[in-house]
Structure 1
């Protein structure tokens, strides 16, 4: 019985090309109490692998967090399977604004300690005691209220390319970093201000809303479905769009354009740009913003040193990488000193 992905990304991309069928990029999450995470994980993999689902799914005792793509022709079967799981019946599915058949190229279902890496050791608050969920129309009303404090619960490299107007965008590298900063900044307004939060799809806000209620905030709201669902509702209901720029997404697309505004700049030359890339040097793989001109000039690399390595024969590159471990935490996604125009 197959329980793990057996194809490389390159092999899978070729199969997708050959099939020529439309795929849907979807994300969803649900906080719930899952006792046997390994059994649940294996059940998901076996069923979804048969449906040609691809993506990155995290399962933990506190719930599930999924970003995936599924062939359009298999969507109903996929939805039927979700509905057969009690706590996932009628779960909200965020459908991507911009579709890409190659948004995911492998099926990875992993058991984690938590579905959101929050770094919290405080087990006394109930993650299901969440704030008030609001749709796009009510959200627009709330953020126009002078008694509202609007907070972006995403990291710096996400809000750098797009955010809601007048939002507080903490300059943080992790979700955990933002929790204490926001509490400290708003400690004098736990009762007189409305704390309204948003993120990509809602999962971080939901945990944050429960955390801030636990910390004494009286009026806590979150944008239901995050930026993805907001964009859909704005279009369907013909509402004013208050989001400027791109929404960063965690798949091969790296971003969905929500408005035509380009609010970021190329980290190498400073020209307006909001396209995230990974350094082509596999020993680096730094996430940063790069314009087409710099991409051509730098051979898709973040620095001259990486460009030199990337231009070496493949076997020589492998030898240089041997025995070395490089983590994104070292570079903190766009904060490398080699980038002249980083945020």
Structure 2
């Protein structure tokens, strides 16, 4: 029984090219008590590996959080499999705005303590007492209400390239950082304002809305299905789109174009740009915004130092990386001192 990937990302990319088949990028989540996350993880991996599913899926005792891609020809087989799992039957699937056959190149199903790292003690409040879900139409109407405070529950590198007009965009690196900051900033409006939240696909708002109700906020709302579902509904129902820029996504695409507005800048030269890249120096792998001109000039790197390292033979790069922890740099998400025009 195969429980892990046997192909590299490069080998998988070649197979995708050779197949000539289109794939669908999909995301979904569900909070549900899972008695044995490891057994459930293995069950999903075996079945999804056979269905040629690729992606990044987190399993915890509290539920599942999935971003994945599936061959278009096997979508209904994939959906039938989900429906065979009682707590996933008829689950809402967020279909990507822009499709890319190589959005994911491996199948990674991981067991975690939580499906979203929120830093909360779930035993201290009722996680099922969530905010009111809003459709795209209702969300637009709520934004027009002067008593509404709209809050982006995503991180700075996500909202930097796109957000809703007039939204509060906390300058934070992680979801857990935003929770206390938002409560402190809005402490004087717990009863007289509508707290309306949104995120990429809705999962962060599920927990945050319950948390803020526990903290005394009286009028708590959340965008159903997040930005992805909002864009789908605005197109399907011919509604006004109030999101400007790009929606950051956690796969190889790194972003989906929602409007033509470019609201961010290259972190190296300051030119208008909203293309996220990862530094080519694998010992760095910093996520930052880089324009085409700087990409060519810097050889896809964030600094002269990284450019020098990336130019070395691979075996020498591995020697330099050996025994070094770089995770703190990886997750700076554009905060590096080497970037002159970072947010």
Q: Name the TM-score class by shorter chain.
A: over 0.9
The residue correspondences of 1:1-343 to structure 2 (distance < 5 A) are 1-328=1-328, 332-343=332-343
Whole-Å separation in 2 of the counterparts to 1:298 and 1:245? 25
Residue pair 2:286, 2:330 contacting (<8 A) in 1 also: no
Structure 2 residue matching 1:92: 3-state secondary structure: coil
Residue pair 2:287, 2:330 contacting (<8 A) in 1 also: no
The alpha carbon displacement at 1:94 in A equals 0.2
CA displacement, residues 207-233 of structure 1 (integer Å, 9 cap, x when unaligned):
100111111111111001100000010
RMSD: 0.9
Unaligned segments of structure 2, at least 5 residues: none
The alpha carbon displacement at 1:126 in A equals 2.3
Residue pair 2:212, 2:220 contacting (<8 A) in 1 also: yes
The alpha carbon displacement at 1:35 in A equals 0.9
Residue pair 2:285, 2:330 contacting (<8 A) in 1 also: no
Whole-Å separation in 2 of the counterparts to 1:2 and 1:331? 31
Number of equivalent positions: 343
Range with bigger deviation, 121-130 or 263-272: 121-130
- After TM superposition, the score normalised by the length of structure 2 is 0.99
Unaligned segments of structure 1, at least 5 residues: none
Residue pair 1:161, 1:264 contacting (<8 A) in 2 also: yes
- After TM superposition, the score normalised by the length of structure 1 is 0.99
